A and B are shown apart, each in its own frame.
Chain A
Amino acid sequence: MTRWQRRQFTDYVAKALGVVATAFGLFWLAWILWTTVSKGLPALKWGLVTQMTPPPGADGGLLNAFVGSAVMCGLAVLIGTPIGIGAGTYLSEYARHTKLGAAIRFINDILLSAPSIVIGLFVYELMVRPMGHFSAWAGAVALAFIVLPVVVRTTDEMLQLVPTTMREAALALGVPQWKIIRQVLYRAALSGIVTGILLALARISGETAPVLFTALNNQYLTSSLNEPTANVPVVIFQYALSPYEFWHALAWAGAFVVTMLVLVLGLTSRWLIARGKMTNE
């Protein structure tokens, strides 16, 4: 083999391996999604949204878990989003090139990939231990700490994408800065900020570790935010590890619903980003 042939051969092998690696990645995606659909679809039934989680060995639904998850995710977004947008605004508009800004960005990036179980322990120490009991509030706060860095990051990035000329045009008209931010920048970056919130919602709707020691679980529907609260991920966790077939089926049904929700939220935010890019170009 000549030197040139050997180089070309290496090139072919490398390309083939690249294709194989991609196929390998997609193979797992297909396998996991297929499992979720094939085991989750048959387990879907009306009782899922009309009945409570059952006692051991009996059949039932996931009503209390769905309600609990929805309430906690909603509260988490309500708590995390305003703080996140505020912090993102500070980073983009007041601290773009300062040391404090760089430090906060760095800490936020770490928070973004920090293990979620650590957040659970933090909120356990912060709320559950002082209050003396598990509660929906504690679960919501734990999830809010996961929403926060996602919203900070997207708000910061989206505001930085708004052209400086817009700020200058508004300043030249004598508009004060807080009005520029609220009435010009937030409007221009709205779709991006909403995307960030959707991404955060997608992330927390499947999060288990942070709610495991904060909201715990509850076999019944509760109207109080100060009681332990059922939620889909923890129910899936407990039911999947149980020996009962009924419970496994419920866990798969819950897994199917959560996965579909996450995929729809993910695809929607992707579509929003793509649309935003097109209008910018």
Chain B
Amino acid sequence: MASPQALELSPVDLQGRRERRDRLLDTVFRYAVTVCAVFVLISLLGAAFSMLWGGRLAFSTFGWRFLWSPEWDAVQKNFGALVPIYGTLVTALIAMIIAVPVSFGIAFFLTEIAPPWMRAPVAAAVELLAGIPSIIYGMWGLFVFVPFMGEHVAPWLDEHVGPLPLIGPLFQGPPIGLGMLTAGIVLGIMVIPFISSVMREVFNTVPVHLKESAYAVGNTTWEVVWDIVLPYTRSAVIGGVFLGLGRALGETMAVTFVLGNAHQLSLSLLEPGNSIAATIANEFTEADSAIYLSSLIALGFLLFIVTFIVLAIARFMLSRLALRAGKIT
């Protein structure tokens, strides 16, 4: 205890003061960063809740019918989500049919085939695809790819694939270029970098002794990848595919440009359609009634729930390999 008369504090007291201050600041700092972290948690819950709140009018007016009614009529104020849901699922499916094998091929090339000097630059180039803003994909799609599809691909499909049984009806339609197939292809290009980079990273985590043992008993490169690498990384590869699927489902601008914005259900992939994200982007600022706006926000809520589930599965599958093989990404 320092005497009250002493003007200067003793060294012992200074130290005690500093310790108290440090302890206080430690607590304050700890609380501050905890608040930041909890904010991340709250922001996702807040997003879900705010869209549920904004869409409550649509949900209460239309009930479950909102999910499967093909109506989308701004004049009669009758809204249903079937057409956008259908468009979203079909375009995402086309995207995955293209992106999954191509991404696997790229990962195979980058981990096993390419000479070492080539790997880093090619991987970087593929990942550049992920960096290009989606509006650029949209412009390129609208001004370059849509005319290309309309002039060359769609007429050929209509003529040669259209008459076939079973799959034929999928490819009959006018050669306008806009439509589900074009949107699906553009989406496929956009998700290739996401899926291929996950695959490449997890392929690289396979223990070398496993692969070398397989080579030692005379396996070819392909057999090593198909029978050793792929089974070992299966859960993470599925996780990567779901990550790409989550991207494809929620992608907005590129799809808005090339999908044609037509509220119609058609079997043909060459016909224009609509997706959840494209509907919201196109019509949100034009929504002139409360129920219209609410229906669009309700669509956003549906999209959020679906992508949340898909991305949650992706993370779960990725973490299963991470548990076994150490940390990835």
Q: How many A-B residue pairs have CB under 8 A?
A: 265
Q: How would you classify the secondary structure of chain A's contact residues: helix, strand, loop or mixed? A: helix
A177 within 8 A of B: yes
Q: How many residues of chain B have a CB within 8 Å of chain A? A: 91
Q: State A117–B252 Cα separation when bound (angstroms).
A: 7
Interface string of B73-114 (1 = CB under 8 A from A): 000000000000000000000000000011111101110111
A48 within 8 A of B: no
Interface string of B232-261 (1 = CB under 8 A from A): 000000000001001101111100110000
Least CB distance from A6 to B in Å reads 11
Q: Which of A29-37, A49-57, A59-67, A162-170 contacts B (4 or more CB under 8 A)?
A: A29-37
Q: Which residue of A lies closest to B25 (CB)?
A: A178
Cβ-defined contact, B54 with A121, below 8 A: yes
A41 within 8 A of B: no
Query: A29 is contacted by which of B22, B26, B43, B129 (Cβ under 8 Å)?
Result: B129
Q: Which residue of B lies closest to A129 (CB)?
A: B54
Q: State A124–B300 Cα separation when bound (angstroms).
A: 12
Cβ-defined contact, B37 with A36, below 8 A: no
Cβ-defined contact, B129 with A86, below 8 A: no
Q: Which of A188-196, A219-227, A257-265 contacts B (4 or more CB under 8 A)?
A: A257-265
Least CB distance from A110 to B in Å reads 5
Q: Chain A interface residue count: which class? A: 35 or more
Residues of A within 8 A of B252 (CB): 115-117, 208-209
Query: A36 is contacted by which of B30, B128, B136, B312 (Cβ under 8 Å)?
Result: B136
Least CB distance from B48 to A in Å reads 9
Residues of A within 8 A of B106 (CB): 18, 21-22, 25
Cβ-defined contact, B135 with A117, below 8 A: no
Query: A145 is contacted by which of B29, B43, B189 (Cβ under 8 Å)?
Result: B43
Cβ-defined contact, A121 with B280, below 8 A: yes
User: Ordered nearest first, which 9 A-B pairs have the shortest CB separation?
Assistant: A206-B133, A115-B250, A21-B105, A86-B36, A178-B29, A11-B220, A14-B222, A90-B37, A125-B50
Residues of A within 8 A of B (CB): 7-8, 10-11, 14-15, 17-22, 24-26, 28-29, 31-33, 35-36, 39, 82-87, 89-91, 93-95, 100-101, 103-104, 106-111, 113-119, 121-122, 124-126, 129, 145, 148-149, 152, 176-179, 181, 202, 205-209, 212-213, 216, 233, 236-237, 240-241, 248, 251-252, 255, 258-259, 262-263, 266, 270
